[in-house]
Chains A and B, each alone.
Chain A
Amino acid sequence: MSRLFALTKRELSAYFFAPVPWVLTFFFLLLTWYFFQWEMSQAYVQVTYAPVFMALDFILMFLVPLLTMNSVAEERSRNTLETLLTAPVHDWQVILSKWLGTFSFYVTMLVPTLVYWAILAYLGYDIHKPDAGPILTAYLGALFLGGLYIAIGIFASSLTENALMSAFLAFFILITMLSIGVLPFMRESAPSWMRDTAEYLSQNLHFAEFLKGRIDAYDVTYFVTLTAFFLFLAVRSLESRKWR
C-alpha cells in the first residue's frame, strides 16, 4: 500500500512540477469558460451549466491524450522503466499509480470550474437558484468520463516510447469510440444489434445520462468496466516486454 502511495505521489508531483499540464489546465479553463459565458448570454433562464459538460467529452478528447502522453512513454524513452520495474513493485501497481496520479491532477483541473456554480448562484440569486442535483451528477459523470479517458491515454502511452505518437493513438481511440455511437444513426439501415452495440460502446450517450441528473447503474457499470479494461490492457502491454 505504501508502495502504491509512493508511486502515485511521484506521478502527481511530476504533473505539478512540469509546465505542460498547467498549460493544458489553462486551455481547459479557457474552453469551459467559453461555453459557460455562451450559456449565460442566452435569453432563457439557467439553473445549470450543462453546455460546459456537453462540450466536455470533446474538450477532453484533445486534452487528456496530451496529459497522459508521457506517463509510460517517457519512462520508456528515459529508461527509467528499467529502474522502476526492477524495484519490488508489481506491474499493476505501476499502471494503477499512473492512473491515480493523472486522475488526481484531472480533479485539480476540474475544481476551478466550481466558480461557475458560484457565478450562477450570484447572477440568479432569489429568482432562480442553481439546481444542485444535475450539477452534482454532471460532475460525477465528468469524473467517470475523465477516468475512462485517462485509462485510454495511459494504455496508448504504454504502447510506445514516442509521446506524440501515444497522444495521437489515444485521440484516435477516443474519436473512434465517439463516432461509432453517431455513425449508425446516419445509416438507419444498420441492423439493430449493431446499432445497440455501437451505442453501448460509445461514451457520449452514457455521459449524457449524468447531465440529465440521472445516475444509472447501467452507465456507471459502463465507465467502471471500460476503465478497468483499458488499465488491464496497459498492464498487459507493460508485461509484453517479457515476450519480445
Chain B
Amino acid sequence: MPAIEVENLTKRYGARIAVDQISFSIEDGEIVGFLGPNGAGKTTTLRMLSCFQPATSGTARVAGYDVFSQSIGVREATGYLPESTPLYSEMRVFKYLWYRATLKGVPRRNRRGYIESAMARCDIGDVRERIIGHLSKGYRQRVGLADALVHRPSVLILDEPTSGLDPNQVRDVRDLIKEIAGETTVLFSTHTIPWVEQVCERVIIINQGRIVLDGTLSGMRKQIEPWARVEFRTSMDARPAMDAVRSVAPIFFVENLTVGDRTTLRYLTEKRNLEATRAQVQTVLASAGGAVENVNVVDAVVEDLFTKLTRGSEQIVGARR
C-alpha cells in the first residue's frame, strides 16, 4: 500500500485554481522532493495532505487513511512542518515538545524517551530549557522538525524545511532527512534543485497547479543530455539583448547572469542545432547593434530542466521512471 496516494486532487479559491487535478503516489519509505516555483501550488497541496485544508475535489490517502473522512488517523500518522515553522515563542523548547507529544497521543510512559530522541536527532539538546522566541532561525527550524518527528510518524511532510537556513544548517537538515530515510516516508517541498540532488532520487515538479514532471533525477539527467548551455557576453544592455535572443526559435529560455557592467547572458538550446542557433543569435544581436563575445558552451544541468518546465511555455511530461 502506498504511503501517499493522490488522485485528481484539486483546490480552487473562488475562480483561481491553485491545484489542478494532480495525481501521484509515493511508496512506503520513499523520499520525494516536491518542487516548483513560488505560487505553483506546493503549499496548498501539502496543506491538503496534512488535513489543514480540504480539497475542492479529488481524493488523497495518507498512511492508508482518507484525508477528508479519516483526518484524525492521517494526523496521527503524519508529521507536518508548515512553511513558516510556526511555534509558540513564549514556551521553552522541552515544554513545547512535551505539549506537542501529548497532543499527538504519545503515551506518557514513552513521552520523555520520544522527545529526547527527537531532540538528539535535530541536535537541539543544548537549548532544551531556552525560550523558543530567543532562539536563532536555525534552531527554531530544528525545533519545528523535532515537533514533526516527535511522535515517530510513518509519513513526514515538510514544507520548505530549509528556507531561511545558512548553508551549514541546510546540510544538517539534509543529513537528518537521509537518516530517517527508509523507516519514514518523506515528502518535502523546496525550490532549489541542487539541494534535492543531494537528498533523494524521486522528484515531482509542479507548475501553475499541475504536475509537469514526476520522475527520477537519473531520468531528468537523461532528458537534459541533448541540451547545452551557452554563455556569452555582449556590449548591449541586458534587456534588449535578452529580447533579441528570445526571438530565436530553438532557444528554450534566456537568463541574465550579469554581474557588474558587462552584460552576461545564458541560454539553453539543443546540441544538435547548436551551430545554427549560435549563428542566429549572432545575427539577431548584430542587427540590434551588439556583438557576441566570450562564448562558452557547457552541458545542461538538471536545474535547466526545472527552469525550462516552470518558466517555458512548453510542458514536458516525461522522464518516466
Q: Which residues of A contact B (CB under 8 A)?
A: 2-3, 6-7, 9-10, 14, 17-18, 78-83, 85-90, 241-242, 244
Contact = CB atoms under 8 A, between A and B. Distances in A.
Interface in B81-107: 82, 84, 86-91, 99-100, 102-105
A78 B82 CA distance: 12
Contacts of B105: 3, 88
A79 B103 contact: no
Contacts, number: 63
A210 to B, nearest CB: 36
Contacts of B214: none
Contacts of B91: 10
Given A86-B52, A88-B72, A88-B75, A3 B102 contact: yes
Interface of B: 13, 47, 50-54, 72, 75-76, 78, 80, 82, 84, 86-91, 99-100, 102-105, 108, 147
Contact of B86 (A7, A17, A83, A88): A83
Nearest to A84: B103
6 contacts: A14-B90, A78-B89, A79-B82, A82-B47, A85-B52, A242-B53
A9 B88 CA distance: 14
A139 to B, nearest CB: 31
A87 B103 contact: yes
Interface of A is mostly: helix
A17 B13 CA distance: 38
A86 B102 contact: no
Contacts of A89: 103
Q: Which 6 A-B pairs have the closest CB atoms?
A: A79-B86, A6-B102, A88-B75, A80-B86, A88-B76, A87-B103
Nearest to A85: B52
Nearest to A74: B88
Q: Which of B50, B90, B103 has the most CB of A within 10 A?
A: B103
